[in-house]
Amino acid sequence: MDIVVTSLDVADVAATERAYEIESAARAADQPDMPPSPRQRFFTALRRPWPGDDDRHALGYLDGVAVGYLAVSLPQRENLENAGLVLAVLPEYRRRGVGRALYEYAVRLVREEGRKRIVGEVANMSPESAPTTPGDAFAAAMGARPALADIRRRLDLSRLDEPELDRLLAEGLARAEGYSLVRWRGATPDEYAEDVAYLDSRLVSDAPIGDLTWEAAKPEVSRLREMEQAHHERGQYWYNSGARHDATGRLVAWTGIGTNAGCDWHAFQQITLVEPAHRGHRLGTVVKVDNLRHIRAHEPALRVIDTYNAASNDYMISINEALGFRAVAGLNSWQTTL
């Protein structure tokens, strides 16, 4: 067998289409209950990385046929010793050495850039946190170590317990005297931008990250605006709810649910953060219930919302399960130290 890895020219239409086909087929095989890979998100990201990242791409060929895809992300602001990795091989061509060739190509690239670590993710269809899939076995064979176990939970909107949501919201609001709920879709209103940038920057310090070596982003409004624009270009739209502290006017709790253009039945519950000085008022529960009703009022075709939590994040898991989220799958983060 002849295996060749070549750099992917993002201006090459045929090559990028093949990359999308490979990534989509791998996703469908590894996460069959998830929606197809959104074309707008994939092709926009291919040509315009996330703000602050420099991405490199490659295709792996087996006997002249492109069957593997690689993306290496090189952060340029923080995490200057790290590199992110996405590696996909068509299911029918796995276990033939293409994945190893792509990984070795990535290691050479990362070393040339002076990076010390590679971080990648492996999805599985078991809610158990133990690494058990062929993808996990591949990561271990490449010398990576498991660094963080996440569990994906799914909320089936056809089975929502509305009386229970009413109870949770009423109970929470009774504890949240002195706070007001606010909602928005898409870009953050200017009056809350500084607070949202701050809350967003707390994710790495507040949520468990296991053994991952990863630095938090700086809380900058300019960066928030860059990320919002990037989401917009990718066809990703967020519904947001927050809790404003009436005495100061500051937004002290925030949650978002993200949708993708072209897929009206699925969404992701994204970030939920409460400023430490304002915890103990059920604000996390209140904003999550409020935002769930926010998105349902505007997205009538929505049927399913997925979310990821670190397996050790008992507090957020308890809130999500109270809302009706149930464990369906997992996601293991692997880290290699070069």
CATH class of 154-330: alpha beta
What is the value of pTM for the model shown? 0.95
Q: Residue 239: which of 259, 221, 224, 262 has the closest Cα?
A: 259
Residue-wise pLDDT tens for the chain (338 aa)? 899 999 999 999 999 999 999 999 999 999 999 999 999 999 999 999 999 999 999 999 999 999 999 999 999 999 999 999 999 999 999 999 999 999 999 999 999 999 999 999 999 998 875 667 899 999 999 999 999 999 999 999 999 999 999 999 999 999 999 999 999 999 999 999 999 999 999 988 888 999 999 999 999 999 999 999 999 999 999 999 999 999 999 999 999 999 999 999 999 999 999 999 999 999 999 999 999 999 999 999 999 999 999 999 999 999 999 999 999 999 999 999 99
Residues of the chain with CATH 3.40.630.30: 3-115, 154-330
Taking each continuous run of H as one helix and of E as one strand, the counts in the chain are 10, 12
User: Which CATH class for the 3-115 domain?
Assistant: alpha beta
Task: Report the alpha-carbon distance of residue 2 to residue 315 in Å, rounded.
Answer: 50
Q: How far apart are CA 118 and CA 85, in angstroms?
A: 7
